[in-house]
């Protein structure tokens, strides 16, 4: 039986890649996409989710629009240097989607979906955790009813990407992250500790584009802007970090990842540490809930899995 997943997403170039990866993986049944602000305004991330599904030939999958801003802070607008002015790398995916978002908003959609099938549905957040926190506030029984949460976000032992210590999805709504990581459910954190070790070189991307697969062509088309950003920001010569697709890889092949379990807290102070994941390595200071943290990864294994699925 495939694992039923709800992907909460802010497409976003790597969200686009992750969604295609999930759709091509028989181990996963993508029930719906819920959208959140982050890589762009909510209107644009919702449009991009609809466009992604249409390009993938899967507009049968519902999309529910979610939060336009963090729980208690302001949203400061899209990082266009990373994901382009349209959030999809300005790659010419300009046709307006024919499909529309559901009438139900994301948090309510998540509650209804999970409570209708207790113990069966996995949440896969790939953006700020606002919708998931709101869903928990609407329905606290989600904690027991959700099978597990596998999220891309945070960093435990490596440097951050929006500050020396914080990763973008957590930094974009630290209060929501504190709610989600503080709840007593099974959370797996696929963060920068592993996603920055899974590096897609330009040759690999070129081969996806020339593989003859439609999904491979879509990936090769969406990434040039992201490659340019990586070159400028990290001196990577066009090689990409594999953020959101790594969470999908964990769902399919957890044995490619080395994990540790510790209690964590999120720094919600508005200082230099905002959005930092504070790991209690001794499990002494914050007794109670432990988060599964991906600490290392078989990067070649993840790249091979992604290639195999996208070009299949």
Looking at residue 254, the DSSP 8-state letter turns out to be G
Which among 243, 244, 262, 298 is annotated as catalytic?
Answer: 243
Which among 10, 86, 173, 244 is annotated as catalytic?
Answer: 10
In the complex with ligand BDR, the residue whose CB is nearer, 79 or 201, is 79
Binding site partner of 86, from ligand BDR, Ca ion, none, Cβ cut-off 5-8 A by kind: none
Who's near 105: CB < 8 A, 6+ residues apart? 64, 65, 66
Contact flag: residue 12 with Ca ion (CB under 5 A): yes
Cα–Cα distance measured from residue 257 to residue 297, given in angstroms and rounded to the nearest whole number: 4
Secondary structure (3-state) at 260: strand
Which residue among 5, 6, 14, 242 contacts ligand BDR (CB under 6 A)? 14
Contact flag: residue 133 with Ca ion (CB under 5 A): no
Contact flag: residue 167 with ligand BDR (CB under 6 A): yes
Is 243 an annotated catalytic residue?
yes
Cβ pair 155, 192 in contact under 8 A = yes
Cα–Cα distance measured from residue 5 to residue 7, given in angstroms and rounded to the nearest whole number: 6
Q: Which stretch binds Ca ion (CB under 5 A): 3-11, 64-72, 186-194, 256-264?
A: 3-11
In the complex with ligand BDR, the residue whose CB is nearer, 244 or 298, is 244
Cα–Cα distance measured from residue 225 to residue 237, given in angstroms and rounded to the nearest whole number: 13
Contact flag: residue 129 with Ca ion (CB under 5 A): no
Cβ pair 28, 2 in contact under 8 A = yes
Q: Which stretch binds ligand BDR (CB under 6 A): 87-95, 165-173, 180-188, 278-286?
A: 165-173
Q: At 82, which helix (H) or strand (E)?
A: helix 80-83
- Min dist CB 169 to Ca ion, Å, is 6
Q: Residue with the closest Cβ to ligand BDR?
A: 168
Tokens 């001794």, located at residue: 282
Binding site partner of 168, from Ca ion, ligand BDR, none, Cβ cut-off 5-8 A by kind: ligand BDR
Contact flag: residue 152 with ligand BDR (CB under 6 A): yes
Contact flag: residue 173 with ligand BDR (CB under 6 A): no
Sign of CA dihedral 229, 233, 238, 243: negative
Cβ pair 37, 45 in contact under 8 A = yes
Contact flag: residue 87 with Ca ion (CB under 5 A): no
Binding mask 224-253 toward ligand BDR (x if CB under 6 A, else -) reads -------------------xx---------
The footprint of ligand BDR on residues 68-87 (CB under 6 A) is 82
Q: At 282, which helix (H) or strand (E)?
A: none
Residue 111 to residues 123, 136, 137, 200, Cα–Cα distance (Å): 11, 8, 10, 36
Which residue among 127, 154, 174, 182 contacts Ca ion (CB under 5 A)? 127
Cα–Cα distance measured from residue 299 to residue 66, given in angstroms and rounded to the nearest whole number: 32
Q: Which of 129, 135, 228 is nearest to 175 (CA)?
A: 129
Which residue among 71, 126, 132, 218 contacts ligand BDR (CB under 6 A)? 126
- Min dist CB 193 to Ca ion, Å, is 17
The footprint of ligand BDR on residues 22-51 (CB under 6 A) is 39
Q: Which of 222, 238, 247 is nearest to 302 (CA)?
A: 247
User: Residue 285, exposed/middle/buried by CB under 10 A (0-12, 13-18, 19+)?
Assistant: exposed
Contact flag: residue 15 with Ca ion (CB under 5 A): yes
**Interface residue list for Ca ion (CB under 5 A):** 10, 12, 15, 126-127, 244
**Interface residue list for ligand BDR (CB under 6 A):** 12, 14-15, 39, 82, 126-127, 152, 161, 167-169, 243-244
């Amino acid at each position: 039986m495939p694992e039923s997943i709800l992907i909460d997403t802010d497409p976003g170039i790597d969200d686009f890649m992750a969604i295609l990866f999930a759709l091509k993986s028989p181990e996963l049944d993508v029930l719906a996409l819920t959208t959140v602000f982050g890589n762009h305004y909510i209107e644009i991330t919702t449009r991009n989710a609809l466009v992604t599904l249409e390009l993938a030939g899967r507009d049968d999958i519902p999309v529910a629009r979610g939060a336009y801003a963090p729980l208690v802070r302001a949203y400061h607008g899209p990082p266009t240097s990373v994901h382009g002015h349209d959030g999809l790398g300005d790659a010419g995916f300009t046709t307006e989607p024919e499909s529309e978002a559901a009438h139900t908003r994301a948090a309510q959609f998540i509650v209804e979906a999970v409570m209708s099938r207790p113990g069966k549905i996995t949440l896969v957040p790939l953006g700020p955790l606002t919708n998931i926190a709101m869903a928990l506030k609407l329905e606290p029984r989600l904690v027991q009813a959700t099978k597990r949460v596998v999220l891309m976000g945070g960093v435990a032992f490596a440097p951050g990407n929006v500050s020396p210590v914080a990763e973008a999805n957590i930094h974009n709504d630290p209060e929501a992250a504190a709610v989600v990581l503080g709840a007593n459910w099974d959370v797996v954190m696929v963060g920068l500790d592993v996603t920055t070790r899974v590096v897609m070189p330009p040759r690999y991307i070129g081969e996806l584009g020339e593989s003859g697969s439609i999904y491979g062509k879509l990936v090769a088309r969406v990434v040039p802007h992201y490659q340019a950003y990586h070159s400028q920001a990290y001196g990577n010569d066009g090689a990409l970090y594999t953020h959101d697709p790594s969470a999908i890889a964990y769902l399919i092949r957890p044995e490619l990842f080395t994990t540790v379990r510790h209690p964590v807290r999120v720094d919600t102070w508005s200082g230099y540490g905002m959005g930092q994941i504070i790991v209690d390595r001794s499990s002494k200071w914050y007794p109670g809930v432990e988060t599964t943290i991906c600490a290392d990864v078989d990067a070649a294994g993840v790249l091979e899995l992604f290639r195999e699925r996208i070009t299949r």
